[in-house]
Amino acid sequence: MRISRRALLAQLAAALPAADRKMKITSVKAVPFRLLQTSRFGTSRFASDHDPARWRWFGPFSQLSGSILVQIRTDQGLTGYGMGGGGEAACYIIEHHLKDLLVGVNPLNVEMLWDQIFSSTSFYGRKGLAIMALSGIDLALWDVAGRHANAPVFQLLGGSVRDRVPAYLTSPNPEIGMKLGFRAFKLPVNFGPADGEDGKKKIVEQIKQARNIVGQDALLMIDVLCRWNVDYTLEIAERLVEMKLHFIEEPLLPDDIPGYEKLCAEVKGTRIASGEHEYTHYGFDQLLRRKAAHLLQPDVTWSGGMTTGKRVVMLAASRSVPVVPHRGGSVYGMHLIQASANCPMAESFGTGEPGNELMALLTAPFENGHYRAPEGPGFGVEFSDSLLRKHAPELV
């Protein structure tokens, strides 16, 4: 029987080893995978229309309370996992839009797929939910690429520039970190302009107490989570000069770039850190061009994935601006940090926090104040069937 050319090529392709055939994505799924409770970031119960809590209710789609897990399967039996943000809303975007751009394509074209997805969502999502969804997809693609190469992601990024990275603990209780070997500490500060002079005094007292606990040689930082304004920040920075703060993180809302420009030009005795709530290398490029941050803090699980992280590090290095990724002690953040000479520290992730098995799984190996990236293929994380059945049964 005569065989057509197309059929013959199909038979030859089927006879080749799987590694020699063009790999294709066969399945894309995303599920909510909350690492922290939504209530950690506020309450939906308000005393009045003017209740200050209304400005601090971040809902179920932000930060780690809105974490999602993206699973990408291929026709070669490889499965990649990536963490994103945006909760159920981001999962909806993936299921009803982004999956169309992924199924049937080669997952190894990671950066091309990032550009295609960004272009396809740009009319409704240049920042926020669409990029949170893209982050989980991008990390899952990098995981597939590492597993395909049988190498950790930091090797795909150019190799490790150090074998471990000093870490800082984010916690109101620095004593916890001292027991674990941390020598750098960041304190959440919950007072702002609405608290008047009494709030200013409480901030100064909080930082003085922390400095006395950690000692003069330890790094000490504060995180304001966008509660302040320019004048308030400059005044508090001046009052805290003797405390030798390494940086003040996110004193203003992320879109107040003129305000950040002013702070960076005028603040004394400390640095201004920003970027935890910025998105894609385009957004970070604006911060750099306008000299609106002394230190950048992308979160690879919602700012655009590893592709964004890699591009941000390159942009920042060209301007001698350090990058300290938000929650860099996660397995995802550590691969970027360990491959980047311009990333001097890793923020804590899971370490010193109330434990749960999801956080523990995604926390990079930690020892005596330092993190290191896992050395297994991809991101070095294995999601067992038993864990998926418990927390994400749709992915089994």
Token duo for residue 346: 């890793």
Residue spans of alpha helices (H) in the chain:
5-15, 87-96, 110-121, 129-149, 153-156, 174-180, 196-214, 230-239, 257-266, 280-289, 305-317, 331-338, 357-362, 385-391
The pLDDT, as a whole number, for residue 120 is 98
66 and 192 share one domain: no
- Does residue 229 share a domain with residue 117? no
CATH code of residue 345: 3.20.20.120
Looking at 150, 184, 209, which one is the last position of a domain? 150
Instruction: Identify whether residues 174 and 290 lie together within a single domain.
Output: yes
Query: Quick check: is 326 catalytic?
Result: yes
The answer on 240 and 124 residing in a single domain is no
Q: Of 262, 328, 271, whose CA–CA distance to 294 is shortest? A: 271
CATH number assigned to the domain comprising residue 146: 3.30.390.10
Q: 331 and 290 share a domain?
A: yes
Looking at the structure, do residues 129 and 177 belong to the same domain, yes or no?
no
Percentages (nearest 5) of helix, strand, coil residues in the chain: 45, 15, 40
Count of the separate structural domains present in the chain: 2
Which residue range forms the structural domain that includes residue 344? 156-376
Q: Are 212 and 205 in contact (CB under 8 A)?
A: no
Query: 60 with 160, same domain?
Result: no
Name the residue type at position 37: Q
In this predicted structure, what is the pLDDT of residue 9?
A: 41
pLDDT along the chain (396 residues), means of 10: 48 49 93 83 88 88 92 98 97 98 98 98 97 98 98 98 97 96 97 96 98 97 97 98 98 98 97 98 98 98 98 98 98 98 97 87 97 98 95 94
pLDDT of residue 21: 61
Spot the catalytic one: 277, 281, 326, 335.
326
Are 112 and 226 found together in one domain? no
Q: What pLDDT sits at residue 362?
A: 97
Same domain, 146 and 181: no
Tell whether 206 and 98 lie within a shared domain: no
